[in-house]
Structure 1
């Protein structure tokens, strides 16, 4: 059986992948839809490790992409991979035909099985295509979910200057190309963006146009993609893992391990899972207003609180919806945000952070 681990960026997927990788008889592919796979070589595989990434990942000096060595094309890149797979096919519908992508995934699965290994594919770029993958390959599908405010703050904390991170830029691209969301994209991002260009060009376009966008726009673009992604992925999940709770509740961690074992025969050990401390200082984002604006723009109230809604979505949004809305972001707040970008995203306005932290403590969805 093939195991698929679906998540967003900065959602503990590297940790979960790392724990599967530690199991005997497993070939755990890391980010098999990452655009860099189109140009990776044996030398670059050896050079890129968690310890030198600067991304606070577990794994030490073992190369992230070691498992791909057996599927490298002699001319460069991973055999069968097209860089368009990364984000161009992100929103593919379950019934859509995509023979190239299907052949690529089948090749990864076959490479593992030829070595009597169980293939595990863990990626931050598959929430939108979870249904397509399940229909084509079956398998056991795990969806990871995290408090969206803390997830976005993890992006923001990696800023080294007042410019959006790669993670933020990818969400701008995904939002600009979400089917049926052209109005949402125009409201949040401004003028429309042309699709069809290579991903690097599209990222360069959104960087040029939105490099000075306020933090609230970055968060709302992220949240729009977060909502659409989970609404597409959750119906196809065999297991949904609340990664906030996984790190704090050992009983829950044992339950997750047992459920995975029952579903696919593998039992990863999550006993060493530790949650990073919450990002206690926040940029000047009015969380409640930002969330409600996006939900209303996308007309998702019933999808979140209606009788058929997945309960986990509201639980994860609850702290932001309950947080006190800070005052209008005047010149002092905007100056703090700009200075925060200059010295790194960790230096941020503090009042909204206290409000969010208090609400999160009152309404910790990971414990309900």
Structure 2
């Protein structure tokens, strides 16, 4: 095995330290990091809790007891523990959905607890969803665009920042858990530091949980395998894995699907292991009390409160895939694993990957050991059942064809019914419109009848007025006739008077002319008189002068 470069910080593994050793670890040591920030006194645990403490990240895969561990950390007084921080439902979640999404809503096998997403409710928008979160963060960004050693997108950073601010505003240690972060463990560590916990269980046991749920009709977890692979093809190993097992079927009965599940997890786990401060093996905790006590102490130191993992357990559900050629099956896994260990950063992670692979296959071998005999004993029975199944399938196919024909006829009848219903609706609407119009016309008729009655009364009154006016007209006509005769007589008298006036005017004209002539003559006489008066005045003046001269 080639020599890997060593980690500079100690990683706490399940069972690596005793309780006393873990208690003695310094606060700055990885695995029990305590932020150097203002402290709040925790009366229950007898220690001080960091205000604005660094976050604790819990990374795991699906069906690996992550909800159980989250609930343990959630129950401590100093933490604000977020469940599945990249869950796709957070994009549209409202208060009602948050209140009803809990362990009891499905066959979860999760511990009893308050609804999963209670801690998010203060952050919900009125229109639903968490600010800055987008559903693409669930699987489309499972592996960062620049790879497993890459960086978070700006949107992811803004979103996680909001979660941390909310926890710090409540003076709690932020605990962020998720089964959709295995491809970005390093990216989150680069962005936020804090303490990184990597949680896992025996991979064959985990597969059996996927398988059991799929057989019961819940294929979500089985489908996540392809969701992760298809959205992470920019990673060369995952792309190779996808192409090599391209004929796989997303079914618990498909051996290639199991191989993809196992190898994908080994690859992601190798990188998560190298980035982790604390690695928690749930399978080991259930089997080894000392391992459990070690992890309890490490977690208690992190959250400054007692964490009790006494109820840890492991179970096995159901695996049904059957391997055709076991040597080929195992060797394919071995060859891919050799490539995976070549991507590991430390000797520890190489050992870890190999152990995870070996333990999974050991459990598969043990499973096959116990069921292989039963499987062989029931081969004939299975064959007969397969024949019966095929017969039932043929009958079902015929019944389905008959059902489809009936459905087609029913659809046609339903279509005819809908057409008739539509026509009836239109006719009813037309009838209602006509009734409405008729009521309007009746109202108009009554108004017109009332107006007609008023008009008839008015007409009768006008006829009476007309008769009175006709009588007045006849009287006036008689008076007019008399007036006309009187007028004619007056015209005759006026003509005579006009003739007399014309004669008088002629006489007046002649008198005026005679008067003017007299005035002219009078003017001449006046002039002559004036001349004579002047001459007389001169003569008198001369006489007076002569007399004054004679006297002198």
Q: Which range, TM-score by smaller chain?
A: 0.7 to 0.9
TM-score scaled to structure 1, two decimals? 0.77
How many equivalent residue pairs?
317
Q: Where does structure 2 lack aligned partners over 5 or more consecutive residues?
A: 1-53, 390-552
Shift in Å at residue 95 of structure 1?
Answer: 3.8
Q: How does 1:198-213 map to 2 (within 5 A)?
A: 210-211=249-250
2:157 pairs with 1:106: no
Shift in Å at residue 249 of structure 1?
Answer: 2.0
Q: Is the 8 A contact 1:184 1:298 kept in 2?
A: no
Partner residue of 1:300 out of 336, 339, 358: 339
Specify the alignment match of 1:346 in structure 2: none
Q: Is the 8 A contact 1:20 1:26 kept in 2?
A: yes
Specify the alignment match of 2:282 in structure 1: 243
SS of residue paired to 1:172: helix
2:223 pairs with 1:169: yes
2:347 pairs with 1:284: no
Specify the alignment match of 1:3 in structure 2: 56
Give structure 1 regions of 4+ aligned residues with deviation exceeding 6 angstroms. 304-307, 324-327
Q: Distance in 2 between matches of 1:213 and 1:245?
A: 26
Shift in Å at residue 35 of structure 1?
Answer: 0.5
Shift in Å at residue 212 of structure 1?
Answer: 5.7
Partner residue of 1:260 out of 299, 310, 313: 299
Specify the alignment match of 1:231 in structure 2: 270
Shift in Å at residue 280 of structure 1?
Answer: 6.8
Higher helix share: 2
SS of residue paired to 1:159: helix
Q: Is the 8 A contact 2:142 2:183 kept in 1?
A: yes
2:252 pairs with 1:180: no
SS of residue paired to 1:19: helix
Specify the alignment match of 1:357 in structure 2: none
Q: How does 1:114-193 map to 2 (within 5 A)?
A: 114-160=169-215, 165-176=219-230, 177-178=232-233, 179-181=235-237, 182-190=239-247
Q: Which has the higher relative contact order, 1 or 2, with Cα contacts under 8 A spaced 6 or more apart? A: 1
Q: Which has the larger radius of gyration?
A: 2
Specify the alignment match of 1:59 in structure 2: 112
- Cα gap change, 1:101/1:54 in structure 2, threshold over 3 Å: closer, same or farther? same
2:369 pairs with 1:317: no
Partner residue of 2:121 out of 69, 83, 97: 69
Specify the alignment match of 2:85 in structure 1: 32
Q: Distance in 1 between matches of 2:251 and 2:321?
A: 14
Q: Is the 8 A contact 2:103 2:110 kept in 1?
A: yes
Q: Is the 8 A contact 2:215 2:252 kept in 1?
A: no
Q: Where does structure 1 lack aligned partners over 5 or more consecutive residues?
A: 191-208, 343-368
Specify the alignment match of 1:348 in structure 2: none
Q: Distance in 2 between matches of 1:306 and 1:238?
A: 15
Shift in Å at residue 268 of structure 1?
Answer: 2.1
Q: How does 1:344-359 map to 2 (within 5 A)?
A: none
Q: Is the 8 A contact 1:291 1:320 kept in 2?
A: no
Partner residue of 2:139 out of 87, 99, 118: 87
Shift in Å at residue 14 of structure 1?
Answer: 0.5
SS of residue paired to 1:4: strand
